Amino acid sequence: MASRGVNKVILVGNLGADPETRYMPSGGAVTNINVATSEQWKDKQTGQPQERTEWHRVVFFNRLAEIAGEYLRKGSKVYVEGSLRTRKWQGQDGQDRYTTEIVANEMQMLDSRGAGQGQGGYAPPPPQSQGDYGQAPAPAPAPQKAPSGGGGQSSPPASDFPDFDDDIPF
Amino acid sequence: MASRGVNKVILVGNLGADPETRYMPSGGAVTNINVATSEQWKDKQTGQPQERTEWHRVVFFNRLAEIAGEYLRKGSKVYVEGSLRTRKWQGQDGQDRYTTEIVANEMQMLDSRGAGQGQGGYAPPPPQSQGDYGQAPAPAPAPQKAPSGGGGQSSPPASDFPDFDDDIPF
Amino acid sequence: MASRGVNKVILVGNLGADPETRYMPSGGAVTNINVATSEQWKDKQTGQPQERTEWHRVVFFNRLAEIAGEYLRKGSKVYVEGSLRTRKWQGQDGQDRYTTEIVANEMQMLDSRGAGQGQGGYAPPPPQSQGDYGQAPAPAPAPQKAPSGGGGQSSPPASDFPDFDDDIPF
Amino acid sequence: MASRGVNKVILVGNLGADPETRYMPSGGAVTNINVATSEQWKDKQTGQPQERTEWHRVVFFNRLAEIAGEYLRKGSKVYVEGSLRTRKWQGQDGQDRYTTEIVANEMQMLDSRGAGQGQGGYAPPPPQSQGDYGQAPAPAPAPQKAPSGGGGQSSPPASDFPDFDDDIPF
DNA sequence: TTTT
DNA sequence: TTTT
């Protein structure tokens, strides 16, 4: 894998929901998570504490997807390293839409026990595995379904999002 | 500035067009650039060389915006460090759209002379300045116009993009 | 603060001992910690699991030094971002020695409660503060005492290390 | 390759001298470079411009070592990503010494032509290759000779450095 | 000297 | 939708 340029993202944050894992026709796993990072500061005028949460859509492939899907849970704190990828897809209105994701190539669980306090879901002891075997099927990854949420005002694209079965080019 | 979580992006790439600078009501500068990073690899089946270019929308504020606007040019190679921010805006059809940008907090010109091979635009000697003074007016940055059209087929969202005069909340 | 070049370190690891805090003549705090990161892999020949631990000497200044000294403990998991600095000092034999440290400019505690399971030391609730106010007194930081340890085979320079009261140029 | 913790370094700087390449008994290449990064600032008291140069010892293995050795030259601007490793060795006085290096796992040439203004050494067109094939023979890399002497007063450890033929454990 |  |  050679390249010209550097395209690197580093995140430490918490999962807003349990991971969603799907499988590509090839059999390879694809896992999506949403990771929140937040920034806090004091308003210079009023001195009031402010907060802004940023949500990041992260996608894992293959072995890393399996590990993420198995060990991460809603609330888990995670370190993710990857690269930015903007995908184009069509809304139901036929218009082009764009979604930017972080394609992860490294992941580390940062919770002591390896699991979040997800809603009842048991998470087995974590392997802390990561590495290059989790690499995307280089520049031609698989489709993903929308995050189940969609709600909040600062949330990422959701509603009209391409589905796993949709015929969208990547 | 305190925070919980890490939200960091590092790019090294080239500008697809000259920077665009605007000014906020406060008088602060806002500069946008589009940065290309590319990945090359060999197809495992055919052995054919492949390439995928990723375009990154980068926004600078205040002093860093002035420096970027003054010294960067189409073709300039640049190092950018910043954080991801996804903004919501409304398309002309009233639908919600999302755009992910890198809000830069550090910039370094990597061309020996400090200028790209821009189309005629003269770029004065580079200061290599960067630093925290370029910080965004924390979590409430200014509107931006669309990239003038990065040209290529893999260029970033453009057409229906919110304009500087549009009434969009950030 | 301007610069030419990029000098950046990102660590996620655990403290091998409680932080050590001192004060500069100026009154500014200086805190040192040792952070372990480890790598695990399987021997390709024997298939035996292997591990290598790397120890990193991290130094904080001013406000960040106070926070690190107050909230971190032996065993704490921490995110550190900073830059490399190699200091020259004289051994008791009059010979030059060099020590490489990470001068931190950002720190995040990654333990849920903000404290490690240090040996009895109580750590109050963490502020998760970080930021640029923790910056070093640019390129002329203060002396530090040796890490109290020194023991292990993979440990960093210790024995003959310059003391806080020593007259060493930085 | 699994791990617990993150140990990451990112450098953008210039080579202080031509690379030095050696070969391990296994036949694998090992290349060392010294990279300068510098920081500039204004003295708060006097307003005088100040500068501090930091020198980084970087080591490449295998394929990446061959590329670095072939295409980099004194003065080349380079992007390096890697991890910190502190090696212990014995001075001629029998005392323990420690040297911290960056073990590179990615490298990008940032000069337009791919070569520095080295003293006469011709450097062929650059491939911009990088990647994981350049990985170190995990946690048990090869000995290296001293940098030929970076010259300047702020140059890295040199004199008493272990030689390729010395019997030093890694 | 940490952590799993 | 997370976390403090």
Give, as one character, the DSSP assignment of residue B167.
-
Shortest CA distance to A67 belongs to which of A113, A17, A134? A134
Percent of chain C, pLDDT > 90?
52
- C-alpha C123/C-alpha C75 separation (Å) is 12
Tokens of B145: 């116009």
pLDDT at A131 over 60: no
pLDDT at B83 over 50: yes
pLDDT of residue B103: 98
pLDDT of residue B1: 57
To the nearest whole number, what is the mean pLDDT of chain B? 76
Q: Does the beta carbon of A12 lie under 8 angstroms from any beta carbon of chain C?
A: yes
* Residue C165 CB neighbours (<10 A): 8
- C-alpha B168/C-alpha B98 separation (Å) is 12
Residue D128: closest C-alpha in chain B: B40
Question: Are the beta carbons of B58 and B11 closer than 8 angstroms?
Answer: yes
Q: Which residues contact B25 (CB under 8 A, 6 or more apart)?
A: none
pLDDT band at A28 (very low <50, low <70, confident <90, very high): very high
Residue A125 (CA) to nucleotide E4 (C1'), in angstroms, measures 10
pLDDT at B119 over 60: no
pLDDT at C63 over 50: yes
pLDDT of residue B27: 97
pLDDT band at C159 (very low <50, low <70, confident <90, very high): very low
Contact B3 A100 (CB under 8 A): no
Q: Under DSSP, is residue D63 helix (H, G, I), strand (E, B) or coil?
A: helix
Rounded to an integer, the average pLDDT of C136-154 is 38
Contact A110 C10 (CB under 8 A): no
Task: Return residues with beta carbons within 7 A of strand F.
Answer: A 13-17, 34, 36, 38, 40, 53, 55, 74-75, 77, 116-117, 147, 149-152, 154-156; B 4; C 112, 114, 125-126, 128
pTM value surpassing 0.85: no
pLDDT of residue D128: 46
Percent of chain B, pLDDT > 90?
54
Q: Which residues of C touch D11 (CB under 8 A)?
A: 5-8
Shortest CA distance to C107 belongs to which of A14, A53, B83, B5? B5
Per-residue pLDDT of chain D (170 residues; tens, 9 = 90+): 577 899 999 999 999 999 999 999 999 999 999 999 998 888 888 999 999 999 999 999 999 999 999 999 999 999 999 999 999 999 888 888 999 999 999 999 999 754 434 344 444 444 444 443 334 443 333 333 333 333 333 444 444 444 333 333 32
- C-alpha D4/C-alpha D136 separation (Å) is 18
pLDDT at A6 over 70: yes
Which nucleotide C1' is nearest A128 CA? Answer: E4
Question: A129 exposed, middle or buried (CB, 10 Å; 0-12, 13-18, 19+)?
Answer: buried
**pLDDT tens-place string over residues B121-141:** 444 444 444 443 334 443 333
**pLDDT tens-place string over residues A39-65:** 988 887 888 888 999 999 999 999 999
